Structure 1
């Protein structure tokens, strides 16, 4: 799993229990998954279709630094399936895991569109071509 983004937990990210609000974390995960899929599929019209069960395994508190990790598990005809894990950067304790996030590539009319990708590519390799 590659961890791409780090977030610093600030007071505005907390719930009444003084721990990281789950909705805020899901917002960050959804944004990270979208950015990752857009770059992989080379299509800015890529959207979230599905998120499987979300497993909150621990919490984060103000001042913690967390990191969001994503890993490709499958390339579909119009989709990209990702797994996600968020952990505390300093302790490596897992905060949340999501087994399946499905992102779909859309055409200009908003319909699923084949992307032609079959494996993970890195921008640095595309630029070298």
Structure 2
């Protein structure tokens, strides 16, 4: 371990180990770890929202991507979709109990991001200056 690293008190057990091949963590993290799912969960954390309210709250998400993200979160039991028999049909979305159990983790990620975004931007600037030939964006 380099002098800049500190020991981790709890070792993470990655799925890449032979004894953990079918652990399922990757499938769950693929869903809740993508940027749109995290933002949808954050947007739904205060309560029930309609589709357009969610879309307005998430800058840059397309209608198609929001639809796919909501369907995937619904499939995973994190979001509840309710359609009301009005003309036109009114549809609302809310977090399930399982979805609500993620909100404190999403808030921690948001807090960390806010606290570290300037330092990350500076690190990127320095790295890009030192590696001008890099294609990393």
With normalisation by structure 2, the TM-score equals 0.25
Higher strand share: 1
Larger Rg: 2
